[in-house]
Amino acid sequence: MPITPAAATHSSSNGTADAILLELVDENGVTIGTAEKLAAHQPPGQLHRAFSVFLFDEHGRLLLQQRALGKYHSPGVWSNTCCGHPYPGEAPFAAAARRTYEELGVSPTLLAEAGTVRYNHPDPESGLVEQEYNHLFVGLVQSPLRPDPEEVGDTVFVTPAELAERHAKDPFSAWFMTVLDAARPAVRELTGPSAGW
């Protein structure tokens, strides 16, 4: 994969990691500035740009990921295929494709925009707040996964019934149902009526 400014390692000349910056937006999704990632998630939260990806296999099953235990935000919980934040100036579509590859070691065979959703979800476990203007994407995955263990604890493909069963017994990210419900029209268009989404 070619190294681009958006995919390059963020480190300063003295070898320490630079702060990861997020794009702050207004209620219409217009960029109004930047903030350091952790600071943007401190209560009450700063509204920032994010993305969520939902990938499906050829049987219409959704790929879930369990977030790695080492992550500072929502470790060990199940969530959608991939989610994250574009770098300032990075297109959400490019960020979604980049992070899917970085986290899961796979590039979607299809990735399409599925709208946006704005939400405010406090995370009771970490005390952090997800105050996000989220760009949604749906797509297909047909290659074997190669998850990065620093990012992903586990993966599973689920039908709607299997998701409901897992959601009833396992912890999920605070934002999961909000982003899934917002993406459902595009999910149904992608997977067809027989998949049951």
29-63 pLDDT tens trace: 999 999 999 999 999 999 999 999 999 999 999 99
At residue 70, the pLDDT reads 85
**Mean pLDDT to the nearest integer, 83-106:** 97
At residue 12, the pLDDT reads 36
Q: In 10 A of CB 45, how many CB atoms?
A: 17
The active-site residue, picked from 90, 103, 130, 132, is 132
Q: What's the whole-number average pLDDT of the chain?
A: 90
**Mean pLDDT to the nearest integer, 106-132:** 93
Asked if 165 is an active-site residue, the reply is: no
The pLDDT of residue 190 is above 60: yes
**Mean pLDDT to the nearest integer, 89-109:** 97
Phi, psi dihedral angles at 25 (to 5 degrees): -135, 165
Burial of 12 (0-12, 13-18, 19+ CB in 10 A): exposed
Residue 121 corresponds to which amino acid?
A: H
The active-site residue, picked from 23, 83, 90, 130, is 83
The pLDDT of residue 160 is above 70: yes
At residue 17, the pLDDT reads 59
The pLDDT of residue 7 is above 80: no
Asked if 82 is an active-site residue, the reply is: no
| Percentage of the chain modeled with pLDDT above 70 | 91
At residue 3, the pLDDT reads 29
The pLDDT of residue 13 is above 80: no
At residue 126, the pLDDT reads 81
Instruction: Choose between 4 and 48: higher pLDDT.
Output: 48
- Per-residue model confidence as pLDDT tens digits over 78-93: 999 999 999 999 999 9
Q: pTM higher than 0.85, yes or no?
A: yes
Question: Nearest CA to 73 among 158, 15, 131, 139?
Answer: 131
| Percentage of the chain modeled with pLDDT above 90 | 84
